[in-house]
Amino acid sequence: MKVETKKKLDIVFKAFLIITSLSSILVTFAIVLALIEDTIRFFVHPEGGGFPTSLFRFFTETEWTPTFVTKKIGIWPLLAGTFLIASIAMIVSIPLGLIIAVYLSEFASWRVREAIKPWLDFLEAVPTVVYGYFALLAVTPLLQWIFRFFGIEMEGMNALSPGIVLGIMILPFTASMVEDSIRGVPQYLREASYALGASKLRTAFEVVVPAAKSGILASYLLGISRALGETMVVAIAAGMYPNLTINPLEPVQTITGYIVQVALGDLPFLSFEYLSIFAAGFMLFLITLFFNQLAVYFKSKIERY
Amino acid sequence: MIFLFSVALKLFLDGMHRIFKLKFYTSFPSRFPEEAGILSAWVGTLYVMVGAIFWAILLGVPAGIYLEEFGGKGKLARIIEANITNLSAVPSIVYGLLALGIFVYRLNFGESILTAGLTLGLLMLPVIVVATRESLRRIPRAIREASYALGSTHYELVFHHLLPYSIGGILTGVIIATSRAIGETAPLLTIGALTFIAFLPPAPWKDLIGMLKSPFTVLPIQMFNWVSRPQEAFHQNAAAAGFVLLVLCLVLNSLSYYLRYKVRRKYYW
């Protein structure tokens, strides 16, 4: 091959690389465009009451029924359901994740760690619909059985069981990220603590964990945004009824659950129902974006020793 | 880990009556739970995943090469990098909305295998970019300098040296991304994967366009459909389908571990 042809080929090759890299930006733009455009259409749609009214109703009404004849479009029931389940998930995930991470990085031998890590990876890859099945047909009956001892009847669809399952589901993700940040704590801090006569347990929880707190916080924020965006578990096990409640024993609906419910039906393009899932999705996108940016902020504050 | 075993055990026990029956894998979904099978679901999964892997590799690997090798610390590279980090944190159902709004309605691809493949491909993209970059980073500088010193162009460097040395790492990333994408249900639900498909898409070697345009169903969606039915017997079907999915994921994950182990031993710098 001549040098000239080679040079030309090189330019083509580089152009190809740049174009494919730009495709990722294109995807982001497409997401934002699709969401914003249809969200705007949702707010100007006559069935929602036209522009300023619909926005007002969106944040003040307490019922969410865009698919019914009388359309109420208050987002709060969906938000309440979403955050209720996410907080149950975090209550499960925060202590367990911390314990697993501390154990793996401080106590476990190299051999144990190598044996456990692949399983954590695999847990992360288990399809979420499988977790949903498990929540509905194993965890819920178990909880019902337990609650019956206390004389409480629980409904088949509830927020508690998908919340617990979700917490376990994001566990491998948060645990491995927390472990990474704990491992970033320099050895001399531990040695200083041992030199002062602290036990291993005390060193782990009173020296190492506080030293890694920014990283740990960032991991949990990412975990929260995962729990908020998770779909199948809640669509299967949490019910399909938008319910403004903080009682975990009642059925609730999350933003993602609502999108699934509507998408399962037949959607005429640009109908009010069709547009409503974009408005709900846009809310979800903004919320997860907020948590992600918060995580990025805390990550940038990780102490360098 | 205990949790994982209890999940697998529950699925296995519930679906036992179905898993070992050949008929379950060779029949279409049906109104009668005893006769329902996952033929159209696993064929659909196969087609969709081939499409997704194609798109993800086509866009992800060059993007990774650009960012790691040629982007340097330029402004463009930094923007793309931040962008990819953000994309990887977007909930998967938002990708579904993107696909519904853009691919299905604005570009008129319809609720087809093509749309599904593209959507899952985009979902896999960040993982593959990161995997590509990490395996390129492990190649020492000296290789690049030696190659340039012999007068090679950029594409010669990439195709003769960088790609062959990093292919193991890239493949590992692709397999991990695939095992995640196989279980993704939400984005495909929103673009309108049907849950009751009693025919197979035309074979790609006979009618490629027809296959791409064909409606489809995939394993997780078939399972979701069965779970949400009230009858006990359908739950058995769901459990069996879930077990098949779980085994698929386990196989893919072990494959990626094996590859990583092999690559680690092949090259020493």
Where along chain B do its domains lie? 37-266
Give one DSSP letter per residue of A226-286, joined into a string.
Answer: HHHH--HHHHHHS-S-------TTS----HHHHHHHHHHS---TT-HHHHHHHHHHHHHHH
Q: How many inter-chain contacts (A to B, CB under 8 Å) are there?
A: 221
Report yes or no on A124 lying in a domain.
Answer: yes
pLDDT in tens, A212-227: 888 888 888 888 888 8
* CB neighbour class for A287 (10 Å; exposed up to 12, middle 13-18, buried from 19): buried
Tell me the C-alpha distance between B28 and A229, whole Å: 32
A14 is in which domain, residue-wise? 3-44
pLDDT of residue B173: 84
Residue B90 contacts A where some CB pair is shorter than 8 Å: yes
Of B3, B65, B252, the CB nearest to A17: B65
DSSP, collapsed to helix, strand or coil, labels residue A73 as strand
Contact B51, B113 (CB under 8 A): yes
Whether residue A160 is found in the same domain as residue A25: no
**Domain B37-266, CATH 1.20.5.440 — does that match?**
no
Report yes or no on A130 lying in a domain.
Answer: yes
Of A21, A138, A267, the CB nearest to B10: A138
Whether residue A253 is found in the same domain as residue A121: yes
Whether residue A200 is found in the same domain as residue A101: yes
Contact B103, A33 (CB under 8 A): no
| Beta-ladder partners of A73 | A64
Residue A259 contacts B where some CB pair is shorter than 8 Å: yes
Write b or e for each residue in A20-35: b if 16 or more Cβ atoms lie within 10 A of its Cβ, otherwise e: bbbbbeebbebbeebb
Whether residue A26 is found in the same domain as residue A147: no
Compute the nearest-CA separation of B206 from chain A (Å).
30
Tell me the C-alpha distance between A116 and A51, whole Å: 54
Query: Which A positions 147-176 lie with beta carbon below 8 A of chain B?
Result: 168
Whether residue A101 is found in the same domain as residue A21: no
Compute the nearest-CA separation of B81 from chain A (Å).
9
Whether residue A8 is found in the same domain as residue A113: no
Of A16, A128, A229, the CB nearest to B62: A16
Whether residue A36 is found in the same domain as residue A82: no
Compute the nearest-CA separation of A138 from chain B (Å).
8
At position A48, the amino acid (one-letter code) is G
Whether residue A117 is found in the same domain as residue A247: yes
Spell out where chain A has E strands.
none
> In total, how many domains does chain A have?
2
Residue B30 contacts A where some CB pair is shorter than 8 Å: no
Residue numbers in chain A where pLDDT is lower than 50: none
Residue A6 contacts B where some CB pair is shorter than 8 Å: yes
Whether residue A104 is found in the same domain as residue A174: yes
pLDDT of residue B180: 81
Tell me the C-alpha distance between A62 and A27, whole Å: 34
pLDDT of residue B202: 62
Check A229 against B227: CB less than 8 A apart: no
Q: How far is CA A240 from CA A81, A158, B191, B217, B269, in A?
A: 11, 10, 19, 23, 57
Write b or e for each residue in A221-251: b if 16 or more Cβ atoms lie within 10 A of its Cβ, otherwise e: bbbbbbbbbbbbbbbbbbbebbbeeeebbbb
Residue A26 contacts B where some CB pair is shorter than 8 Å: no
Whether residue A165 is found in the same domain as residue A17: no
pLDDT of residue A112: 80
Tell me the C-alpha distance between A297 and A218, whole Å: 8
Whether residue A120 is found in the same domain as residue A205: yes
In this structure, what CATH number is given to the domain that contains residue A159?
A: 1.10.3720.10
Report yes or no on A100 lying in a domain.
Answer: yes
Residue numbers in chain B where pLDDT is lower than 50: none
